[in-house]
Amino acid sequence: MVESRKKKNLRNQMLKTREILSESDVETGSKKICQQVMELPQWEQAERVLYYMPHRREIDLRPLMKQAWLMGKKVILPRAIPANRLLIFYQVDHLDELVLGAYGIWEPQSDEDRRIDPQELDLALVPGVAFDWKGYRLGYGGGYYDRFFAGPGAGIPRFGVGFSFQWVETVYPEAHDVPMNGVVVPTGLMVPEK
């Protein structure tokens, strides 16, 4: 699969823009998005929610995870398996259970007793480099989430989370890309065009 030059340029531009955000900007945007997510009926009704640990100035959902624990919800985090570019999911009860993973991202330890069948997920909150008006997501290029949502996670409601500047006209989607059901930015829920 050869990635288009436009897609590579967009990824580089978005990552550069995100990398120059101040810690205060990231914290403020993250707090607003956590509040927006808590108002989603899909989150309110979900028992098992897939989150992620922030990396490279991504939106930080840890306050939302803490709220989920207080409400008795299950916090699920992915573990990347680079050998086959797959995600495996584990229930996490405390952030101090995490270990540094293959890509420098905090992730759950491999523990079969804590492993979650993807079909048990009620909702997925997904990071991205950019999201477009049709709901397509631009990630780092590994295809982990696309493989998951095209396969075992096909029926799970999925919402991207990002800063307002990450909501763009197009991310130059390819045939294998799977759109989000919505994208949450600090100002609210962006509903993809049909």
Any known ligand binding at 51? no
Any known ligand binding at 9? yes
Any known ligand binding at 7? yes
Question: Do residues 9 and 16 touch, judged by C-beta distance below 8 A?
Answer: no
The closest of 14, 16, 12, 52 to 169, measured between CA atoms, is 14
Question: Do residues 131 and 159 touch, judged by C-beta distance below 8 A?
Answer: no
Question: Do residues 137 and 128 touch, judged by C-beta distance below 8 A?
Answer: yes
48-50 and 74-81 beta bridge pairing: parallel
Structure tokens at 164: 């307002």
Residue owning tokens 């259970």? 97
Any known ligand binding at 56? no
Any known ligand binding at 70? no
Any known ligand binding at 8? yes
- Residues near 113 by Cβ (< 8 Å), separated by ≥ 6? none
CA 30-94-61 angle, 5° bins:
10
Any known ligand binding at 141? yes
Any known ligand binding at 11? yes
Any known ligand binding at 73? no
Any known ligand binding at 139? yes
Any known ligand binding at 58? yes
Question: Do residues 68 and 49 touch, judged by C-beta distance below 8 A?
Answer: yes
Any known ligand binding at 182? no
Question: Do residues 118 and 157 touch, judged by C-beta distance below 8 A?
Answer: no
Residue ranges of the annotated binding site for substrate are 53, 58
Residue ranges of the annotated binding site are 7-11, 53, 58, 137-145
Residue ranges of the annotated binding site for ATP are 7-11, 137-145
